[in-house]
Chains A and B, each alone.
Chain A
């Protein structure tokens, strides 16, 4: 099993450009999450999904959109990138609905917006 994979690993954008980050998991997990990691702030939840075809906003959703057309994939889109979106983005997935479930993280995407 590959677990959780993310594409791309690195990206540099100019302000105003758009891009999509892809997350894939092969563990048949229902829940998927997108976090951003900024120095001294831990990880903050951007959007999440509780199943195929569903998405919901997290703590910091502004400037991002997501889609979950297939159970194994969760896409994060930036329509018009801003320097404030320079960050490391992590995707995670978990099996079920309980708060005890372990979240499995991908390796991250390092995004720089100039």
Chain B
């Protein structure tokens, strides 16, 4: 069965500082991994995803994530935080072919606060 753990329910950074949001996964099959962002009072929007191939994945808004199989991690980073990055971020693993079709298994989420 697949599962996701996001370390830190709240992360606070200063504007211009590095953003690092941590995600560890567990999967019995080769994982497909996703990061979604949710801005206040909105739905979830895909930031990036890893399927196969290059382990460093670039997404929208300057975010990227690196798949590390040996560490079962898929941490999200951005070199320089912007005020507009303040949102909740969800890591998810695809439970494809499993009991629930191709559902996503989500982590609990990390709220990113950006200080001016």
List residues of chain A with CB under 8 Å of any chain B CB.
Answer: 4, 31, 33, 40-45, 48, 50, 56, 58-59, 90, 92, 94, 97-108
B interface size (C-beta, 8 A): 27
CB distance from B95 to the nearest CB of A (A): 8
Q: Are A102 and B100 in contact (CB under 8 A)?
A: no
Q: Are B108 and A41 in contact (CB under 8 A)?
A: yes
Q: Are B106 and A56 in contact (CB under 8 A)?
A: no
List residues of chain B with CB under 8 Å of any chain A CB.
Answer: 4, 9, 32, 34, 36, 41-46, 49, 51, 90, 94-97, 100-104, 106-109
Choose from B97, B103, B108 the contact partner of A33 (Cβ within 8 Å): B103
Q: Are B94 and A100 in contact (CB under 8 A)?
A: yes
| Nearest-neighbor residue (CB-CB) of B45 within chain A | A105
Q: How far is the CA of A44 from the CA of B4 in the complex (A)?
A: 12
CB distance from B92 to the nearest CB of A (A): 8
Choose from A4, A45, A107 the contact partner of B100 (Cβ within 8 Å): A45
Choose from B4, B100, B109 the contact partner of A58 (Cβ within 8 Å): B100
| Nearest-neighbor residue (CB-CB) of A38 within chain B | B108
Q: Are A90 and B43 in contact (CB under 8 A)?
A: yes
Of listed A50, A56, A99, A108, residue having the most chain B CB within 10 A = A99
